[in-house]
A and B are shown apart, each in its own frame.
Chain A
Amino acid sequence: MEERPGGLLAVKFTAMACPCEVLIHGSDPTRTMGLGVMAAQEAWRIEHKFSRYRDDSVVAWIHGHRGSKCTLDAETTALLDFARQCFEMSDGRFDITSGILRRAWKFDGSDRVPEVATVAALLPSIGFAKLQWDPPDLLLPEGMELDFGGIGKEYAVDCAYDILASYCNAPFLLNFGGDLRANCAPPQGPWRIGVERPDSDRTAAMLLDLESGALATSGDSHRFLMKDSVRYSHILDPRTGWPVVDAPRTVTVAASSCTEAGLLATLAMLQGAGARAFLEEQGARHWIL
């Protein structure tokens, strides 16, 4: 726990491979620590449940039952159904079955762009519409994978927010690796949020003011390929298996929930050069770098 200017106390932890912190206005360290632990436990619970790296997660269990019907719990059902709606409303651009494209694409700053045939071979195993999804029953066909990575962190912010909001009336801000949500501004003024410069020097490129609500950022600061002067962003279009052309480096969106902000940022990225126009059409506050 750290003290910050303006009467704020910060609790820091790591979850979902990101630095996370909870900032609370107030002077009671015991209470702040208690609230911070609650937020961390919720983040860890969601990480544990939906991780694709653990063999005891719900995702691993679903992957272990490919080809047979699984009845999902209420939370997983809600998340999967949310993913279905995102798939439908984005005309297939947002797809939680697209994770297997990682087998072809390794975004390590190198020039290893995959063969066209390698990518094409993966496409038959991608597409939410190929799932047999009759909530709460799911049949995951052979060869397919689910990856909640695109919504898990934002969802965790909102879940932790709900828990904190029910215990704490004091102004607080949750920051899980750049996805944020605040209940209200501290007395001395709005929360100041620094968004990192896309080039990897880790300095804040701009400062945003947030009173309440959520901010989410989608970007490819450190994850891209460079070949023949073409920068391949890590934003892949699941319909082609290839990176979106001319996607912005960083898109930050404000909305009332982190889940909504995150989806808007991701959908904007998937529009490539049309990201700004897309966000303007949605009437969402946004910052593009």
Chain B
Amino acid sequence: MQLKPAPSQLRRRLIAASCALLSTSAARSQETSAPGFVGRVLKDWQFESALAYYHEDGRIQAIEPVVNASHDYGDGGNVSLNFTFDALSGSSPNGALPSHAPQTFASPSAKSFASARHPFTTRPGNLPVDPSYSTARAAGGAEWTLPLTRLSRITLGGKLSIEDDFYSGTVNASFAHDFNDKNTTVTFGINDESDIIQPIGNTPVPLSNYAAFQKEGNKSKNGVGALLGLTQVMTRNWLTQLNVSVDRFSGYLNDPYKIASVLDAGGTTTGYIYENRPDTRTRKSVYFENRVGSEHASVDLSLRYMTDSWGIRSETAQVRTRWWTPDRQHYFEPTVRWYHQGSADFFMPWLPAVDQADTRYISADPRLANFHALTYGLKYGYELGNRLHRSSSEFTVRLEYYQQTLAINNRVPDGLQGLNLYPGLKAVLIQFGWSY
């Protein structure tokens, strides 16, 4: 005997079926012909562009223009292209600790490529930062989605990123299948990344003395990853998503510009060594997101947990809400994000001189330390009144404030008392976006 679906389920099925029907009609009506090639490109392609300015308090600043173009074929197929350019400049911590004495370093930064070593001196009590840090990155990517059947599709993509000292290429493929009248989507994806690292002034020999100038040739690393995702329409207004992913990187995983201070028992800096990290890293993460929306407001709550073979565990929680004005021309989108991570097993803010001979792995990079960070953001969006050619046009401004607090509990040697060893990080981001 066939069981009849519960009535509320019938309504859900009807809503899903109506939405599927009407979304097809919306896609179809966007296909109607337009005269002229330029008109056709402008009408058939959706463009998103943004210009972001990022400023860290006393450190790096960056300008990043982004252009994204996408085109729907109307049959579920889609192609998207994106291009990003970053220009970073400013001061970057090199990993050494502040000291009561002035410290002098040689900078391997890109700007000083010709000389490869550009000395700078850090005043007593200040965090050593390379003041002439400067790099530029150009990146481009393409993604192509094509429907296989009415319910499944495959996406193929590639990315290329070029910096002064870093080249990265990624290919990815994913397969998605809809079930349950398109209320459930299961996605499986894999990706493969290959990187070449050509540090300015060559690659330092890991754990070597900073003053010894021991250098090696170029390095490479490779990463493979897989993702399994489940997206479920719970009700007409509620969408939930669960992703599980794993990736593994192997090869040269050090930051070639990061060093660690070597301290004697009294806390006096006796020298610096280049960091060394294990040459494999496996990460596993779980991501859970819920989106609930109504006509004038929506809430998006996401949680992420990550653990890796370096001993880092991190948790992220984010709440994002969006409020539209009654005419739906304007919206405000406040966001709060909380992030916490535990330190890597080999993270040490400094290396005690007595341990130097026995140390295999060490990094003093604060990005591997125990810290928590809070981000507050507010985005304002304005939908431009006259929406020609049926494509929506939107102007946005986004402001974000990021505050990172390091929580490093190593006992501070007497010689370093009174110094602010682990200044956190404050940064602001302002982004202007336009999509049409």
Measured CB to CB, the residues of A under 8 A from B are 42, 74-75, 77-79, 81-82, 85-86, 89, 91, 135, 155, 158-159, 162-163, 166-167, 169, 184, 212, 256-257, 259-260, 263-264, 278, 281-284
Contacts and interface: CB of A to CB of B under 8 A. Distances in A.
A212 B29 contact: no
Contacts of B215: none
A242 B328 CA distance: 48
A85 B295 CA distance: 26
A167 B25 CA distance: 16
Nearest to B388: A167
Interface in B1-48: 4-5, 7-8, 10-11, 13-15, 17-22, 24-29
Given A162-B25, A283-B8, A74 B18 contact: no
Given A86-B17, A158-B22, A163 B150 contact: no
A257 B20 CA distance: 12
Contacts of B5: 89
Contacts of A158: 18, 22, 25
Nearest to A261: B18
Interface residues of B, number: 35
Interface in B168-224: 181
B21 A155 contact: yes
Contacts, number: 86
Interface in B64-97: 74-75
B104 interface: no
Nearest to B75: A74
Given A91-B4, A263-B14, A82 B20 contact: yes
Given A163-B390, A260-B15, A282-B10, A74 B20 contact: no
A135 B28 contact: no
Contact of A78 (B8, B15, B20, B236): B20
A74 B24 contact: yes
A282 B11 contact: yes
Nearest to B9: A89
B327 interface: yes
Contacts of B4: 91
A155 B15 contact: no
Given A169-B385, A212-B295, A282-B8, A260 B18 contact: yes
A75 B24 CA distance: 7
Contacts of B329: 169
A283 B10 CA distance: 11
B387 interface: yes
